[in-house]
Structure 1
Amino acid sequence: MMDFQVLVRGSGSMGSRYLQLFQDELGISPVVFPKRKERLAELTGRGFQVIEDLAELDRSSPVYSIVATDTSEHLEDVKALSPYGRVLVEKPLTSSMRELKNFRKDTDLKTSYLSVAFCWRFSLAAEFVRKKVECLGQIHQVRIECSSFLPEWRPGTAYKRSYSAKAGQGGVLRDLAHEIDYATWIFGYPEEVLGVLSNSGYLGIEAEESADLLWITPDGVTVSLRLDYLSKHPVRFLKASGERGDVTWNLLESTVSVQMEDGSEQKYKFKDDRNLMLLRQINAFLGLPDAKGTLASFEEGAKVVALSDAARISSSSKAWQSVSYL
């Protein structure tokens, strides 16, 4: 018997995925706290305990809450749920550093109880890459690309009305923040960034359709990053090049290729589908006995927002921009 409760705030695409994983894979029946009242009957019919107000929550045991609402609502939900126990909030933590700084100023929270859901940290390939890059000697460049076609993301859904299309909530810097997180998690956080954001008008959305970022890590590694909603043939990879060879991680195929200076090459395949990564992340969040991996902290989630904000400023000023971390 569990000595804690699990709550999922939000029942959209991401919230529904969490609910399914808890129910089907972990045998846990979470409490559902949906944003849209029209979902109450449906969720109740599926066997979930559904609440309309936190006053209905049983406070006799700790609550582990997952926030899977719109980005603009994340901090409000974190503030409401954190008094009940630990909180895991979907990425990005919030829309901007201004929102985050106001939140910190007005709210007295134990941020050690807050984590951000960057699930690629729970990729077996990612952990392998973190170790393998140490074998490359001095790394001189890292190239990361994540390109796909936004209209094909959610079949049956009008992409122009999705949060991805909205200037204050979507755009590739927020939607594809995983790339910024694992780049900095593996190679370190830069002091400044050069960014070029673009909206060609092709997709008819408010938010940026593409972003090109460049920075130099504290160890002198040049990192270049390409994110876009425009590519009809998806690409997602990281390539690190060093004095002794290259490591290439193909995120779509869950493979890592290691090429050394003597011409030898080895290719590794990993079991890394999205549900497995989310399950590993959930296990770490709940502190289950077989948990492996480390959650992104509140501070690390804030650094991703800070780096994204700096890239936007850089794009407007057409100059390198210092990153203002918390």
Structure 2
Amino acid sequence: MKALVVGYGSIGSRHARILAELGCEVALVTSRPTTDYPRFSTIPESISGFQPDYVVLASETAKHHAGLCELAEAGFAGRVLVEKPLFHEPRQMPQHRFQSVYVAYNLRFHPLLQKLRHLLEVETVVSVQAYVGQYLPGWRPGRDYRDGYSANGGAGGGVLRDLSHELDYLNWLLGGWRQLTALGGHYSALEISSDDVFAVMLTTVRCPVVTVQLNYLDRLTRRELVINTQQHTIGINFITGELVVDDVRQHVTAERDHTYREMHRAVVEGQADFLCTLEEGIDVVGMVAAAERAVTERRWVWK
């Protein structure tokens, strides 16, 4: 299969490497000089010159919509994976002939979430608390955090979008959001133009009380989840790989590229069970917009 990766930053290079390891013939659309893979300057040029079967849009979030429009105008009719989040603000999808469109919420493929999803099938969920925090200056050693897209709100950066995995998996596990309110913004001394802390409270189809905090400030680096059901308390620590059900603990290992590899394999093989669909990706974009609206208007926002 021919796979085209649009954008060759840290995440684009990771996608390209993993796709090559899976046996795909890889090409890039990037302005960066590289000899790693064949390189094209524009999307139309790559579609006509490379004729890919699968396209991964790994450009800045604010450029995703334009990239999809270019793919559609070029007549691309294969599979598309868009890096998360789908858009930086609610947008209409262009008219297209794509075979399928997915959003790269690869955390769904983490063994811990897979096990949790199975556990929750027979549970009545009462409350959920999710937390993710990582100190932004430590994300990419050797690179000034102020130069990254995460620091640039105009490019689609900011913690609410950057760490929207939590919003996606909560929707996925709990049947979708119904209403939410939020607090958030730029509160720290980080030299960025994007939000660095967000706290969201919401109700979902399956759970009446859900809270999630996202931040760029946690020097301990944490990603955790606690769920109370009518029968059990379930805890997950993504950093240590620990799953706790009441007083029973088990460790689940997943090497660094596992979730990305399994996500790409699912797209390539047409196994959509755990992939984030276009509709689900649009829902997360709406959730982000609702959270920002809740902050501005200081109220609950209904879906």
The question of a shared fold, defined as TM-score above 0.5 by the shorter chain, is answered with: yes
Q: Partner residue of 2:301?
A: 321
Indicate yes or no: 2:67 matched with 1:77: yes
Give, in whole Å, the separation in 2 of the partners of 1:183 and 1:19.
28
Q: Partner residue of 1:28?
A: 24
Give, in whole Å, the separation in 1 of the partners of 2:51 and 2:216.
43
Could you report, residue by residue, the CA deviation over 1:217-236 in whole angstroms, capped at 9, with x for unpaired residues? 12343110011111111111
* CA deviation after TM superposition for structure 1 residue 110, in Å: 4.8
Aligned-pair identity in percent equals: 27
The equivalent position to 1:274 in structure 2, one of 256, 262, 267, is 256
Closer/same/farther in 2, CA of residues 111 and 269 from structure 1, 3 Å limit: farther
Q: Partner residue of 1:286?
A: 268
Give, in whole Å, the separation in 2 of the partners of 1:29 and 1:218.
42
The equivalent position to 1:93 in structure 2, one of 86, 89, 94, is 86
Give, in whole Å, the separation in 2 of the partners of 1:21 and 1:247.
32
Q: Partner residue of 1:51?
A: 40
Q: Which runs of 5+ in 1 are unaligned?
A: 260-264
Does the CA contact (< 8 Å) of 1:132 and 1:247 recur in 2?
A: no
Give, in whole Å, the separation in 1 of the partners of 2:115 and 2:102.
23
Does the CA contact (< 8 Å) of 1:81 and 1:87 recur in 2?
A: no
Q: Which runs of 5+ in 2 are unaligned?
A: none
Closer/same/farther in 2, CA of residues 33 and 193 from structure 1, 3 Å limit: same
Give, in whole Å, the separation in 2 of the partners of 1:240 and 1:110.
41
Closer/same/farther in 2, CA of residues 254 and 162 from structure 1, 3 Å limit: same
Closer/same/farther in 2, CA of residues 56 and 244 from structure 1, 3 Å limit: closer
Could you report, residue by residue, the CA deviation over 1:161-208 in whole angstroms, capped at 9, with x for unpaired residues? 211111231111100010100011001222211100132241121111
* Paired residue total: 298
Could you report, residue by residue, the CA deviation over 1:283-310 in whole angstroms, capped at 9, with x for unpaired residues? 011117xx68521111100111101110
Give, in whole Å, the separation in 2 of the partners of 1:220 and 1:293.
22
Could you report, residue by residue, the CA deviation over 1:255-280 in whole angstroms, capped at 9, with x for unpaired residues? 21111xxxxx3222223233011000
The equivalent position to 1:145 in structure 2, one of 99, 116, 131, is 131
Does the CA contact (< 8 Å) of 2:174 and 2:207 recur in 1?
A: no
Does the CA contact (< 8 Å) of 2:133 and 2:222 recur in 1?
A: yes
* Structure ID, larger Rg: 1
Q: Partner residue of 1:200?
A: 187
